[in-house]
Amino acid sequence: MLPARACNLQGCPGKGTVLKFRGQKPMEKGVDNWPEQLRDRWSGEIQWNSPMAHWCTLQVGGPARAIATPATRAELQSLLVVLAELGVCWRVIGRGSNLLVSDAGYDGVIVVLGRKFAAIEQQTGEKDGKIQVRVEAGCSLMKLVNWCTGQGLEGLEFAAGIPGSVGGAVVMNAGAWGKEMSEALAAVTFLSRSGEFVERKKGDLAFSYRHLETESMIVVVADLLLQAGDRQAIEKRCSQLMRDRKEKQPQGQANAGSFFKNPAGLPAAGKLIQDAGLKGVRVGGAQVSEVHANFLVNIGSATAQDFLDLMRLVQEKVFERFDVWLEPEVHIL
């Protein structure tokens, strides 16, 4: 049995589950004509049968039955209400830069928090001598890093070059160069599965290495605490880190960043994979990068199954050689 992390089911009631939703009449799970009902009852933007390969940086994955892109918090809230009533599985994504979706696709609704959820706002007043910034989850990390640089705010330079959304970065507790997202966060506002907005202060959030325990809620807003700094110095640090990335990471080949988590107290996953002699190894169109062994790249024609098979091969070979089972950092859907 593959010990890969299964997807955390965000909006997937168990088969036969009877949903109770905000006092409304409970409905049996899985209304057969849910696409028609969704179209009739929710007026936001939906794309039908869209290949997930178009929504993920690995560029693999079969079609999602529906991709819903709410434009406002009210639209997101009403979408969850309708999906719960229809008993339809859903999953929220950001930029798909840490996702491997199966070739079979996703028989439910992928909720995308995109550019319409991308506002950044400096809050009035300081806290503990730091500047408070509020940012919506659909904002790209790069846009946020550039905005902070422009405002002379430091603390997020490590994120320069990470291609995800703010929501994805919070959920992944994204990090690089010894720093991680949780360090800059003061609070996170979620939308719960039952459609309520819930604010959690940092002290109440369970962050760990590349993980935040979200209790299957959607990250909607992140509150950050950043330090006032010198704009040029911040810009210089960001540029240097971007150059370092270019040097150390594969360029021009679709990937999802580091594929495996670094095992605690051991050499980095990339070093273990390299020392197991796996650099350049291929399964179909998926390859262990020649540049950085913890990057699995799409050499142009990969399927999701190629990535799953290559992942398994790497796990087995590293286990044989070092008695360590590498856990994927990439979420598998």
Ligand X SMILES: Cc1cc2nc3c(=O)[nH]c(=O)nc-3n(C[C@H](O)[C@H](O)[C@H](O)COP(=O)(O)OP(=O)(O)OC[C@H]3O[C@@H](n4cnc5c(N)ncnc54)[C@H](O)[C@@H]3O)c2cc1C
Q: Which of 95, 258, 301, 312 is catalytic?
A: 258
> Which position among 256, 276, 296, 297 is part of the footprint of ligand X (CB under 6 A)?
256
218 lies in the binding site for ligand X (CB under 6 A): yes
The secondary structure of residue 280, as a DSSP letter, is: T
Distance CA 311, CA 129 (A): 45
Query: Whole-angstrom distance between the N-terminal and C-terminal Cα of the chain?
Result: 17
Question: How distant, in Å, are the alpha carbons of 97, 140, 167 from that of 93?
Answer: 9, 12, 8
The two beta strands, 106-112 and 63-69, are parallel
Tell me whether residue 139 or residue 226 sits nearer to ligand X (CB atom).
Answer: 139
How many CB atoms lie under 10 A from the CB of residue 287? 25
Whether 22 is catalytic is: no
Residue 195 in contact with ligand X, rule: CB under 6 A: no
- Give yes or no for residue 99 binding ligand X (CB under 6 A): yes
Question: Contact with ligand X (CB under 6 A): which of 52, 76, 184, 219?
Answer: 219
SS3 33: coil
Helices (H), 103-219: 141-151, 166-172
Q: Is 289 a catalytic residue?
A: no
Q: Cα–Cα distance between 113 and 69 in angstroms, integer?
A: 6
Residues between 147 and 176 that touch ligand X (CB under 6 A): 162-165, 167-169, 171-172, 174-176
Specify the stretch interacting with ligand X by CB under 6 A; choose among 39-47, 66-74, 121-129, 214-222: 214-222
Query: Of how many residues is the chain composed?
Result: 333
Identified binder of ligand X from the candidate list 59, 98, 262, 298, rule CB under 6 A: 98
Q: Which amino acid is at 6?
A: A
Q: Total number of residues binding ligand X (CB under 6 A)?
A: 31
* Enzyme catalytic residues: 210, 258, 329
Residues in touch with ligand X (CB under 6 A) = 57, 91-99, 113, 137, 162-165, 167-169, 171-172, 174-176, 214, 218-219, 255-257, 331
